[in-house]
Amino acid sequence: MPCLESMMEPVSASPGTSPAAGTETEESSSSLRRETVTAPPILQGMGWFFSPLWSPRSKTRRKKFGDFMKSDQVEAWLDDHSDFTRAYFLRRASAVSGPQTEMSPHLARFPRSSSDHSDLITKAHPRRTSSPLSSHMNISSLMDRLKPLAPNLSAPEWMDRSASPDVLSCHSTCSPRSSRHSFSPCRPLSPICICSHDSPHFSQPPCPSAAKSAACGQGECCPWMMELLRGGLSWMGSVKDLCQGAVLHAGELLAAEGSSLCLVRKDCSGRNTLEEVIAPTAMGCSSEDNLCSHAHLELVKGIMGCVLATGSPMNLRDVSEDPRFDLDDDQSSKIRTVLSVPIKNHRGEVVGVVIMINKRNVYDGSVSVFTSMDEKILSNHMDVLGMVLDNVQLYESSRQEAKRSQALIEMAQVLSKEHHSFEVLLSKMAAPIMPFTHAQYCTIFIPCEQSSVAEAKVSFSRVIHLECEELGSACQIYRRERDIRDIDPSYALRTLVAMETLNMSQSPEESMKSLICCPVRNERSEDVIAVCQLMNKRSRDSDEMEAFNRYDERLLEDLAVYCGLALQYAQAVQITEERRASIEVTQEVLAYHITAAEQEIQALQETTIPSAESLLILDFHFSGFGLPEDLTTQAAIRMFLDLNLVQDFNIDYKSLCQWVLTVRRGYRNNVPYHNWNHALSTAQSMFAMLKATDQLQTIFSRLEILALMIATLNHDLDHRGVSNSYIERSHQPLAQLYGHSSLENHHYNLCIFILNNTGSQILSGLSIDDHRTALHLIKRAILATDLTVYMERRKEFFSLSRKSKVSWRSEKQRDILRSMLMTASDLSAITKPWPEQKRIANLVAMEFFAQGDKEREEFKIKPIDIMNRENSTRLPYMQVEYIDDICYPLYKAVSRLFDTCSPLLYGCKKNRENWLHLAKDTKEENSENSSCVTLETHKNNEEETQKEE
């Protein structure tokens, strides 16, 4: 064998090389010499790799040879390796006259595994032009020569184990998810080299200098390995061709009569099984010859199964004498000696098994036994084959992942777009995977809604059928209109019932091996809502049908996930469209019933509107109770007329009449307090403040005044007689729709609905910008009537009221002023004359107590005091507290800023006194203490008011 020393040449030319050749060598490598000062020796050939002494299974890996070893250690090593010693001296005796080489002081280490495959055979520049590897033996060339095989390979089923995410995530530098080498599905992985100087696993034993000899019978370099490195992978069309070349070469070296090779794959249960790649065949014969009877095949499978189970070689000198195998006379006469070794990858995992049968004696042709050297030679060849297969597998895995990523991106893009047809959506989703899987047909079965899987009464209502037609390098996808009766649904029905992926490649039915089905599940209910089926996987090299592999299963399962999303999306869109149509119908019905009759509109339009003085709407003590219904609408019209809003904004008078009547119909008559009368009273209070205070009309723009008047009339539209807290606690749709200030948002939206209703569009004369601004002002004003908003903002308003002079040019300050005036108008019932105030207080208490009764019944809780009917006798005290906490501070601040609004403050104080006197007449316990407290507060308020006056 050629020792390592013979492959590590000095810089000078070989003794047998001519000066001219040496000159050429120096010239060809001169550029390389300029880059390095000293060049370490380079491995000249690959013959060392197939030497029996270089074996991953050799026990000598535990020691380093040559590091301070003495003569007794050398003798001990030679005694332990008698085969090497005998071969060495025979070669030395036959090569006495041959050129000798010096032993290199540098011994490379060749580990079994590739812990760092970024460092390949050597980093030195090549020096010998006569070397078979020459200057091409570098890292990039090795990677480039191993990669070309992958694009032309058909990924067999045995790749599934390593291509699966479970195996790809193992802690290895060759793993796509390794921490040292990031994995990109769009970039092929680097091939693995089993030679790494950094691996500490074992050291190469010393190789005495020897002449060039036949490590594998073909000279210094193995032709099979050199063919792989020189580009032989590029013309090998499949993994089978690669394996066949390795088996034929190894069979020739071992003079075997027959051989076979199987690769490992995992079945559905995760168990390792052998898949035959090269059937037991006589060497040099294309057919199975007489070696492959059924009995012989079973014997070969049994031996290879033992090797797979143990992971160790098996050398049988006489098969008939092995008790593990029961042979008849015919078997023992045909198969006598067997050598079988496992094919392992760089991680030591068994990826295949090879077997050699009947070693023939080269002299007389008789059957002889396989020697230990034969076992080592075969093992070394299979190590290289395992490394190459592992690289092919990883490269193919990366290509498959790149295709899968591309298909997923295309399906996601299709899903993100809007499609009006469900069939078109699914067709576009299925189209990307058909070219990748080479499937001719793709069918999506949609089951009937009434189908019950539990009762085994399943059927399909419709199918979506796609056909793929190859046009040169491109593929054209067609969607065919097919009836459910024209397509065999039996396999889809099996998938629907089993709810698992069905791959017919594992079925004994030869005619349907090229079919795969996958269920489409609803992510929420886990129900099967469809079945995807691929048929007729075409071979890339011929028109024959192939079985779908694990990559095809993954793509189909990905399609199933996206189809499930598409189905849910289509269902959601359908439900949304139905609900939108339902809302439109509801709005149409609401618009019809809420809009006043034409006769009523015409009557109001033709009626002469009384003056503001006759209607008493300029008075802060105006009361809408007892006012005829016709006069209430006329009073609202009069407010818009006297503020010149009709003239300034070109409001159609008929539209104004219809709008007022529609707003009145928008309030519920069965609500005691928050009804149309309250809305009119709120609008009248705002109107009275605007008319009484010229400063307010100067501060606000005309558009702001219009927005305030619209907001006051609409601020409690469709009020239900309950508070926001009750709506939120009872989880009513209003709470789910708005979240906070539910009632106020509902009032605003209904206000917009009426403003957009045909015939009630009083804002149609505004420009686009003014219309947008008006709606914003209306919304802010209506939301300000929520007492929670008032409590949050009143501190800032009270601070403004204490200033000697306030500039209202700031939009923020005007927004606060509008909000406070809306609250002042909304609470103005507390400023009305005592009979009116007492009546309104009882109506409010009626609403509150009704809500408290609902809370007690529905939520089983005790209502708060103001809503607890048991506290009805404490109404006067609660009114005094209400005035002191909410009303009095607000009217005091408004009167301080605008003294013309002081009647509101005086009315509030007067009603507080009346409630306080009423509280003294009650017979409730502790009334005296409560009176003392409230009287003291009242005295302080009076003293403060007198000081201000």
In this predicted model, what pLDDT tens digit does every residue of 845-886 receive, in sequence order? 999 999 999 999 999 999 999 999 999 889 999 999 999 999
pLDDT at position 388 is 86
pLDDT at position 69 is 54
Tokens coding 147: 């990669």
What is the distance between the alpha carbons of residues 894 and 883, in angstroms, rounded to a whole number?
A: 15
pLDDT at position 184 is 37
Closest alpha carbon to 720 in 644, 668, 792:
668
Instruction: Tell me the β-bridge partners of 444.
Output: 464, 532
CB-based contact 460:484 (threshold 8 Å): yes
Q: What is Dmax (Cα atoms) for the chain?
A: 141
What is the distance between the alpha carbons of residues 754 and 594, in angstroms, rounded to a whole number?
A: 9
Compute, in degrees rounded to 10, the torsion defined by CA atoms 75, 79, 83, 88: 20
CB-based contact 368:359 (threshold 8 Å): yes
Tokens coding 734: 């209003």
**Which residues have C-beta within 8 Å of that of residue 256, sequence separation ≥ 6?**
250, 283, 339, 356, 357, 358, 359, 360
How many Cα atoms occupy the beta-carbon half-sphere of 362 within 13 Å?
A: 6
**Which residues have C-beta within 8 Å of that of residue 490, sequence separation ≥ 6?**
none
Tokens coding 146: 């191993």
What is the distance between the alpha carbons of residues 241 and 44, in angstroms, rounded to a whole number?
A: 28
pLDDT at position 526 is 74
CB-based contact 38:117 (threshold 8 Å): no
What is the distance between the alpha carbons of residues 203 and 138, in angstroms, rounded to a whole number?
A: 22
Three-state SS for 927? helix
Other CB atoms within 10 A of residue 840 CB: 21
Backbone angles phi, psi at 59, to 5 degrees: -75, -10
pLDDT at position 867 is 94
Tokens coding 731: 């989880």
* Residue length of the chain: 949
Q: For 648-697, write each residue's pLDDT tens digit.
A: 999 999 999 999 999 999 999 999 999 999 999 999 999 999 999 999 99
CB-based contact 484:463 (threshold 8 Å): yes
Instruction: Tell me the β-bridge partners of 276.
Output: 262
Closest alpha carbon to 216 in 456, 423, 51, 446:
51
Give Cα separations from 272 to 162, 192, 385, 507 (angstroms). Answer: 12, 24, 19, 18
**Coarse DSSP helix, strand, coil percentages of the chain, rounded to the nearest 5 percent:** 55, 10, 35
Closest alpha carbon to 393 in 191, 140, 226, 180:
191
- Whose structure tokens read 């009872």? 730
Q: Alpha-carbon Rg of the chain, whole angstroms?
A: 48
**Which residues have C-beta within 8 Å of that of residue 583, sequence separation ≥ 6?**
none
Closest alpha carbon to 522 in 559, 576, 565:
565
Q: Which helix (H) or strand (E) holds 342?
A: strand 338-344
Other CB atoms within 10 A of residue 376 CB: 22
**Which residues have C-beta within 8 Å of that of residue 776, sequence separation ≥ 6?**
none
171 is catalytic: no
pLDDT averages per 10-residue partition of the chain, 949 residues:
38 40 41 37 39 41 47 71 71 50 35 34 34 34 38 40 34 34 37 38 36 45 72 60 88 90 78 85 55 71 90 88 69 77 90 91 84 91 88 83 85 80 79 84 82 58 84 74 78 88 71 81 78 86 78 85 81 86 90 91 95 95 87 96 96 96 95 96 97 95 97 96 93 89 95 95 96 97 96 95 90 96 96 94 95 93 93 91 96 96 96 93 55 49 51
What is the distance between the alpha carbons of residues 161 and 266, in angstroms, rounded to a whole number?
A: 6
**Which residues have C-beta within 8 Å of that of residue 792, sequence separation ≥ 6?**
none
- Residue 922 identity (one-letter amino acid): T
What is the distance between the alpha carbons of residues 291 and 342, in angstroms, rounded to a whole number?
A: 22
What is the distance between the alpha carbons of residues 108 and 870, in angstroms, rounded to a whole number?
A: 99
**Which residues have C-beta within 8 Å of that of residue 666, sequence separation ≥ 6?**
594, 714, 717, 718, 750, 754
What is the distance between the alpha carbons of residues 10 and 188, in angstroms, rounded to a whole number?
A: 37
**Which of the following is catalytic: 249, 346, 438, 674?**
674
Q: Which helix (H) or strand (E) holds 529?
A: strand 528-538
CB-based contact 160:549 (threshold 8 Å): yes
Helices 702-714 and 676-692 pack at an angle, to 10 degrees, of 160
What is the distance between the alpha carbons of residues 676 and 714, in angstroms, rounded to a whole number?
A: 9
Q: Where are the beta strands (DSSP E) in 240-305?
A: 256-266, 272-282
pLDDT at position 365 is 78
Closest alpha carbon to 746 in 707, 715, 777, 773:
715
DSSP string, 351-374: EEEEEEEEEEPTTT--EEPPPHHH
